[in-house]
A = this chain, B = another copy of it.
Amino acid sequence: MMGPHWWYNRFRGWGYRLTIPRQAILEILSKSDKHLSAEEIYLEVHKEYPSIGLATIYRTLELLVQMGIVNKFDFGDGRARYELAEDSKGPKHHHHLICNVCGRVIDYRDFSEEEKNFFESLERNLSQRYNFEIKNHQVMFYGICDKCKGK
């Protein structure tokens, strides 16, 4: 239900092993509230486990994305960024505002009830209309952030 247990069962359910490197990576991801790149994760993991290689970071992230534990994003800075999709308290779903000028990424999760309901019903509608099973979605708004507006 929480922490390691939860991960452990999830891995077993998929027939995967819960190894040290995988735990270390999940540990880092769950401690951070940022959008980490593979290399940033590698550097963090490396502090505790210097023997874990970058290739394992990439392989593990790919796995976690497949399992739906982690979300992968492209914010346009030339590298993929990763975020835990949920924590012990439940999903951390949110949308993004991305500044075209400075590249800043703002998370917003203060959804209105209306917004929440809208996306739910939209997903149901699309699933039917296109016979497409929707697992998740990403919403990004592009523009100019407050800091960059002042010229």
Q: From the candidates B108, B115, B130, B145, name the one contacting A97 in the complex (CB within 8 A).
A: B130
Residue pair A137, B126 in contact (C-beta under 8 Å): no
Taken together, the copies of this chain in the complex come to: 2
Residue pair A97, B140 in contact (C-beta under 8 Å): no
Residues of B within 8 A of A137 (CB): 139-142
Give CA–CA (A106, B129) in the complex, Å: 12
Query: Could you tell me the distance in whole angstroms from the C-beta of A113 to the nearest C-beta in chain B?
Result: 13
Q: From the candidates B76, B108, B134, name the one contacting A126 in the complex (CB within 8 A).
A: B108
Which size class do A's interface residues fall under?
A: 35 or more
Query: Could you tell me the distance in whole angstroms from the C-beta of A121 to the nearest C-beta in chain B?
Result: 9
Residue pair A126, B146 in contact (C-beta under 8 Å): no
Q: From the candidates B108, B130, B140, name the one contacting A138 in the complex (CB within 8 A).
A: B140
Question: A133 contacts the other chain (Cβ, under 8 Å)?
Answer: yes
Query: Could you tell me the distance in whole angstroms from the C-beta of A136 to the nearest C-beta in chain B?
Result: 5
Give CA–CA (A138, B46) in the complex, Å: 35
Residue pair B149, A133 in contact (C-beta under 8 Å): yes
Residues of B within 8 A of A143 (CB): 127, 132-136
| Given A106-B130, A135-B142, A138-B142; 9 other pairs, CB 8 A cutoff | A123-B141, A131-B149, A132-B141, A132-B143, A133-B143, A133-B144, A134-B143, A136-B141, A136-B142
Of the A-B pairs whose beta carbons lie under 8 Å apart in the complex, a sample of 12, sorted by A's number, is: A99-B132, A106-B132, A118-B118, A123-B141, A131-B145, A132-B144, A132-B146, A133-B144, A134-B141, A135-B143, A138-B138, A138-B142
